[in-house]
Structure 1
Amino acid sequence: MNQTREAPYIIRNDRVRDITSILVYFLILVGICAILVFEKPNLFFLTIILFVSAFILGIIYIQFKRLLQNNIVFIVSEKGITDLTDRTHVINLAWTEVAQIQMDANNSSLEIGIIGSQSINDHRKLFDNAKANLMKNGNRIFYNILIDGFQYRRKNFFRIWKKITQYASAANPNVQIINYHDPLDKKEKK
């Protein structure tokens, strides 16, 4: 039998969200500059305005750099999920190692949490004190991969959710998938 393998689902930073953030910060910076042009602030307020302007310029620089790099943040495949948010510590988590996938609300948006664990044998270079901690946890390393909905537009975020749950449930029927239900949603089924 010839099985067709689905290509991995690549998750990158949301370019539209990044561009929107840059534009909003730029408009705030223009507003701050307008204060400098049309008002004559005293030295104390001038110092605060310059400090805030430098801070906003730094944020614009970081966002613009992230926009140009267009890095892959997560890779979702039939085998599992790879977290590339921190390039110095890449996490490869197979679906068989995932215990729970949950969509939940945080302060400002929805987020996807993927909770899993791996045995210590999968990691060759652990410090002695980390190994001692792992022994207390039953010789397991626990992971919580978070995908913040604030970083993605709603449509993209739900597409990510759909792909993750699709791959996970196909590879590991024992994974617990918890969808978010808004308690304030008035569209209750009667």
Structure 2
Amino acid sequence: MNVLCQFSGSDDKRTLADFIDAPGYYPAGRLDYDSEGLLLLTNQGWLQARIAEPRFKLPKTYLVQVEGDITDDALMQLTNGVELKDGLTRPAVARRIETPDLWPREPPVRFRKMIPTSWLSLCITEGRNRQVRRMTAAVGFPTLRLVRWQIGELDLAGLAPGAWRTRPVPDELLPPAATSPRHRRGTPRHGS
């Protein structure tokens, strides 16, 4: 959170270079400046495109804290697709969850004594600008905290904030005709 998802180009904001020494690696997809969670890095252009391109419909799962006690009707709307200014979203997988065991957020989410909050898991297969925040707002439950937990089969389990690890490319991310060992050489690094 509060980090630009790029390695260069900011005088006043932190970038990935402040945390990761990975020459030749680039983010595959982005996180908003005020969001937290999983970011995949790769040194393979084809893999970066495969992860970031909406046409591949790679599922991305977010843990979302919203203002208010989310209703079944709102969850159904999210599941069916929500009309936004740039069109109807694809159907999502939305479900209410218990408060997840996450690291403390800095700065903390605003607290309002008279307004409850709730958590949901939201899995989408597209990546419009600030999409999750716009979807929850459209159904009447503004996002307070947004954590990308999973991309495809890669998730944050066991990773501390700011940590990273190297993993082999999951089969689901290989191009359909990828039988050559050269496609397995690129190893995505991912972290929070």
TM range (shorter): under 0.3
Bigger helix fraction: 1
- Kindly indicate whether structure 1 or structure 2 has the higher relative contact order, using CA contacts under 8 Å at least 6 residues apart: 2
TM-score by length of 2: 0.23
Larger Rg: 1
